[in-house]
């Protein structure tokens, strides 16, 4: 079984969970990625969010539907 097939199965099962359980799962997964603390991460992310919102507001950035974004991500 390929990794993408396994990811699809896990995602399908996770999406069947109630919202609170999905949030807990998402938090656990994020916590498992990195133990180090980046002191400027929150500030940097806030700046990036503001930059992207400005791009959306001015039309310089276009969104795509989640299925298309997911396909692109999994395609590498």
Domain count along the chain: 1
Record the pTM.
0.44
pLDDT of residue 73: 93
**Could you tell me if residue 24 is inside a domain?**
no
Q: Is residue 57 part of a domain?
A: yes
Q: What range does the domain containing 65 cover?
A: 40-76
4 lies in some domain: no
Residue 6 lies in a domain: no
At CB < 8 A and 24+ separation, what contacts does 73-76 make?
74/4, 74/7
Three-class secondary structure of residue 49 per DSSP: helix
Q: Tell me what pLDDT residue 68 has.
A: 95
For residue range 2-56, list pLDDT tens digits in order: 888 899 999 999 999 999 999 999 999 988 887 777 778 889 999 999 999 999 9
Looking at the domain assignment, is residue 5 inside a domain? no
Does residue 15 lie in a domain region?
Answer: no
Residue 11 lies in a domain: no
Q: How wide is the angle at C-alpha 63 spanned by C-alphas 60 and 65, nearest 5°?
A: 165
């Amino acid at each position: 079984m390929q990794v993408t097939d396994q990811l699809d199965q896990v995602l399908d099962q996770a999406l069947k969970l109630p919202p609170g359980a999905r949030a807990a799962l998402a938090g656990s997964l994020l916590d498992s990625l990195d133990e180090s603390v980046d002191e400027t991460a929150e500030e940097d992310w806030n700046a990036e969010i503001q930059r992207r919102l400005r791009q959306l507001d001015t039309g310089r950035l276009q969104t795509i539907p989640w299925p298309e974004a997911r396909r692109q991500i999994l395609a590498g």
